[in-house]
Amino acid sequence: MYMSIWCHNLNLSSRSLAIALVACVTLVYFSYSFNACLFASLSRTLQQSNLRNLLTLPQRNDTSSSSSSSNNADATTTATPSTSNATTTPPTQPAAQPLPSIDGAPKYQMLRQQGLRPSRHLPDTLIIGVKKSGTRALLEFIRLHPDVRAAGSEVHFFDRHYQRGLRWYRHHMPYTIEGQITMEKTPSYFVTKEVPQRVYHMNTATKLLIVVRDPVTRAISDYTQAASKKSDMKRFEQLAFVNGSYAVVDTNWGPVKIGVYARYLERWLHFFPLSQLLFISGERLIMDPAYEIGRVQDFLGLKRVVTEKHFYFNATKGFPCLFKSEARSTPHCLGKTKGRNHPHIDANAIERLREFYRPFNNKFYQLTGINFAWP
Ligand SMILES: Nc1ncnc2c1ncn2[C@@H]1O[C@H](COP(=O)(O)OS(=O)(=O)O)[C@@H](OP(=O)(O)O)[C@H]1O
């Protein structure tokens, strides 16, 4: 009898013990999960703020805001453009800090850890031209902005590689995180007939940046580049005119033809409203880069992060250069192929070309609503 009561009590107490044990384990489990969540969330917040600083390369004190981004998904990782050394030291400059690698694996590892999943997107913005007007300078300057990521080299998708498809194009774009603009520049897009329609089909909202320069100096620049690759090149004057006199301009010669901007612009305006195009003066980009970059940032809906503090004028090169960029943390200018010495061209030939371009320039001013005041 006593034995049975004892056994019964024992049963009861071991059941209570078991219940207590289960309750304890549950409590410990929930408390652990809660703390783990709290810790993860705190560490994510901390990492995100670190990341923002990491991406604000040129000026760590500046905060950046984002703007439009594309509704597509395509892109590549391309090499950053070559840059040459500055030939003179800038007057005053902020201390050069070593910069983190933008495309380096650790950064993307860090992004993924935060669940930010950087991905490649089709460009929201294209620099479509005009060749030899300062397109490289524009790209290098605007990509100082932490919310702009650009393909380093010209992708030539819409003119040469269109058959490869948008997937191919997307894989040539850089990785971006939410809020960053993807940009690409290929100057031949402006003059290639099929390109406006192709860009329109990719994204009707694509923003288009066009750098333009006095078509006569542009033609000489184009010629200078071609001559640098061909030692037996004829003189500019022989190529720009038909039959050796200055009477008839050779409008079939590429360097001359490209300068008839109005003709090409009309094709773009069949597909895009003027409000989606921004014209940048190549001359002013040299004289006052901060001003032009300010306009570009406004147009793209970006905070004005890139300012005069980023530039210095290199007297030896005769061009604005950068204190630091995405590619380099020390002062530097664009490469040797940018800002070449032009050959001497007969003044009469220049005058004749100016006369030739005048009506086309006027038409261009009329279409854009901007008087570039080319001579
Ligand atoms: N900051 C700075 N540094 C060097 N060069 C500068 C700069 N800003 C504008 N430019 C002018 O850019 C001209 C080259 O134009 P592009 O970059 O459009 O050339 S290309 O079409 O990509 O080959 C280049 O033409 P050239 O002077 O004939 O070499 C320059 O006049």
Residues 357-373: tens digit of each pLDDT: 999 999 999 999 999 99
Name the residue of 229, 338, 341, 345 whose CB sits within 8 Å of the most ligand 1 atoms, as the mutation to test its pocket: 338
DSSP per-residue string spanning 77-121: --PPPPEEEPSS--SS-PPPPPPPPSS-HHHHHHHHHTT---EE-
**pLDDT of 7 over the 70 cut:** no
Residue 172 among known ligand-binding residues: no
| CA–CA–CA angle 366, 288, 315 (5° rounding) | 135
**pLDDT of 170 over the 80 cut:** yes
- By alpha-carbon position, which residue is closest to atom 25 of ligand 1? 339
Residues with C-beta less than 6 Å from any ligand 1 atom: 131-137, 187, 221, 224, 285-286, 319-320, 333-334, 338-340
Per-residue confidence (pLDDT) for residue 62, from 0 to 100: 27
Query: Domains of the chain (ranges plus CATH)?
Result: 83-368 (3.40.50.300)
Which string of b and e fits 337-353 if b means at least 16 CB within 10 Å?
Answer: ebbeeeeebeeebbebb
- By alpha-carbon position, which residue is closest to atom 19 of ligand 1? 132
- The least confident of 40-44, 191-195, 261-265, 356-360 is 40-44
Residue 213 among known ligand-binding residues: yes
**pLDDT of 4 over the 50 cut:** no
Q: Per residue in 298-334, pLDDT tens?
A: 999 999 999 999 999 999 999 999 999 878 899 999 9
In which element (H, E) is residue 222 found?
A: helix 215-229
- By alpha-carbon position, which residue is closest to atom 31 of ligand 1? 339
Catalytic residues: 132
What's the ipTM?
A: 0.99
Residue 78 among known ligand-binding residues: no
Looking from the CA of residue 333, the nearest atom of ligand 1 is: 3
